[in-house]
Amino acid sequence: MGRLVYSACAKDCGLGAYVSIMAASISGYTFSSVCYHSANSNSDHEGFLLGEVRQEETLSISDSHIGSSELLNVIEVHNHEPCAQLFSFYDYAGNVNEENLNRILKDRRKNVIGWYRFRRNTQQQMSFREQVIHKQLTHILGIPDLVFLLFSFISTANSSTHALEYVLFRPNRNSYNQRISLSIPNLGNTSQQEYKVSSVPNTSKNYASVIKEHGTEFFDKDGVMKDIRAIFQVYSALQERVQAVCCEVDQSERVREKIQEEVNKLKEEIALRKRNSAEEERRLQEAAAVTLPDNSALPDSPHSSLTRVVLSGPSVEPSLERPVNSSSPPVYSTTLPPDSPSAILLPRPQAVGSPGHPSPSLGLGNGDGSSSDSLNRQAIGQEDPEDCDDDDEDSSEYENLVSEQSQAPSLTETVTLGRPATLWPDGDSPPGS
């Protein structure tokens, strides 16, 4: 259905302007049907227009004014009811006979929105009798905005050209010449304008019967297309799965958080033990330094556990610099290889260029598994003499770190001076050991 718009009035042109507009439209098939009935009549022809009137209100806000409200009254012509002959519902004086009117309209009286007339070779102006009838129809049908559609068929003298003109009138109290332009949707150059879908319900009985017969293949009992319902079900299933995955993620995150807390706790314990072991070692070394001149001929005493240095002891503490996806054992493993010979009390093996004394303190990392930069420097071997203490402390963080429970210090191995210990990550035994 096309829309034809005419502006009735603007109640206020200032702030909050209110504009009432009326639109009227007729579908192509209704229009052509009316024309067909009219053109085939050998005299003037008339009938009634059936349809509906609805209202649409549009509120627009722009920078120029606060807001304006536009009320659109839409008259849509769905169908027409032609009269079999002239004067079928009125007399010579134009008095409408309501009984005859009801006989023509039957149960469609409530759908009447206007009436039409077809006249050949006359002016596009409401005639005397049409005005009289219109006034009465407005009153009898109770339609204040009853419209009148006038068709005029103009032919040239030699009948070579015929023009069908139509005008929609909206007669009011003051003037019977108020006209509304009638638009027919899709009657034009559709290549340049959008093809408009009619919003008018199809009143065809044949269409209704076909849909009823074959509709079950496409529609469910509620009149909704089945495909739509299936799509909606898929959507619902996806939504459920997404919700489930969210729950799983939530749980795994909680587990991870808990494990992370345990790891951090263990790190703190390790650091504490390291500090303690370094302290103990220092005391032992001090004590050994006091008793060292008596026992100097005995370079290798199997019972001197204080001077023995554990060599090639694998690191019992995993390096926090190690990438997660390496082939190393699991990160959270707290067990140490059984043949780890490293001892807490022995001085730590020196790296190349190291000053030679172990780091008494066991500095931990950042607590989240990341290592400090000093560890990296120590591993490479480039040491700043001024920072060697700190570096040693930091570099010894992951060296010779052995759990007391899991490892017993070995006193039988001797120190091979000058050869730095080979540290293997993850407490792995060195090759060949």
Partner 1 sequence: MNSLSPEVALSRISPELRPLLCSVVRNGRVGLDSSSCLRITDLKSGCTSLMPGPCCDRFKLHIPYAGETLKWDIIFNAKDPELPPDFIFGEDADFLPEPSELPHLVSWDAGKPECLLQLVKELLQQYHQYQCQRLRDSSRLLFEYGSLLEDPNYGRSMEIYAGRKNSWTGEFSARFLLRLPVDFSNIPVYLLKDTALDPGEDVALLSVSFEDAEATQVFPKLYLSPSIEHALGGSSALHIPAFPSGGCLIDYVPQVCQLLTNKVQYVIQGYHKRREYIAAFLSHFGMGVVEYDAVGFTKLTLLLMWKDFCFLVHVDLPLYFPRDQPTLTFQSIYHFTSSGQLYSQVQKSYPYSPRWDGNEMAKRPHLIAGEQSLS
The residues of the shown chain that bind partner 1, judged by CB under 8 A, are 39, 42-44, 85-87, 92-95, 119-123, 125-132, 155, 159, 162, 175-177
Q: What tokens appear for 183 in the block?
A: 């638009």
The CA-based angle 115-119-125, given to 5 degrees, is: 75
Closer of 159 and 296 to partner 1 (Cβ): 159
User: Which residue lies nearer to partner 1 by CB, 169 or 424?
Assistant: 169
Please, which residue, 130 or 397, has the CB nearer to partner 1? 130
What is the side-by-side order of every strand in the sheet holding 4-12?
A: 4-12, 17-26, 68-82, 45-60, 112-120, 147-155, 162-169, 179-180
Minimum distance from residue 86 beta carbon to partner 1 (Å):
6
Evaluate whether 425 touches 391 at the Cβ level (below 8 Å). Answer: no
Q: Measured from the CB of residue 36, what is the shortest distance to partner 1 in angstroms?
A: 13
Angle (CA) 382 385 390, round 5°: 90
Q: How far apart are CA 386 and CA 319, in angstroms?
A: 25
Q: Which is nearer to partner 1, 130 or 383 (CB)?
A: 130
Instruction: Identify whether the C-beta of residue 270 lies closer than 8 Å to the C-beta of residue 404.
Output: no
**Closest distance between partner 1 and the C-beta of residue 8, in Å?**
19
Q: What is the rounded CA–CA span in Å between residue 137 and residue 115?
A: 9
Give min distance, CB of 77 to partner 1, in A: 24
Nearer Cβ to partner 1 (43/64):
43
Amino acid at 409: P
Q: Where are the alpha helices (H) located in 147-225, listed in sequence order?
A: 205-214
DSSP 236-286: HHHHHHHHHHHHHHHHHHHHHHHHHHHHHHHHHHHHHHHHHHHHHHHHHHH
The beta-carbon contacts of 421-425 under 8 Å, at least 24 apart in sequence, are 421/311, 421/312, 421/313, 421/348, 421/349, 422/312, 423/314, 423/315, 423/349, 423/399, 424/314, 424/315, 425/315, 425/318, 425/319, 425/322, 425/328
Instruction: Give yes or no for a contact between 365 and 397, defined as CB atoms under 8 angstroms apart.
Output: yes
The nearest distance, CB 50 to partner 1, in angstroms, is 25
Question: CB 135 → partner 1: shortest distance, Å?
Answer: 9
Is the CB of 121 or the CB of 325 nearer to partner 1?
Answer: 121
Question: Considering the complex, what minimum distance in angstroms separates the CB of residue 120 from partner 1?
Answer: 5
Given a contact cutoff of 8 angstroms between Cβ atoms, the answer to whether 207 and 33 are in contact is no
Closest distance of CB 96 from partner 1, Å: 12
Using the minimum distance from each CB to partner 1, give the nearer residue, 85 or 296.
85
- Using alpha carbons, select from 27, 24, 23, 75 the residue that is nearest to residue 203: 27
Which CB atom, from 146 or from 336, has the smaller least distance to partner 1?
A: 146
Nearer to partner 1, 46 or 392 (CB): 46
Nearest distance from C-beta of residue 117 to partner 1, angstroms: 10
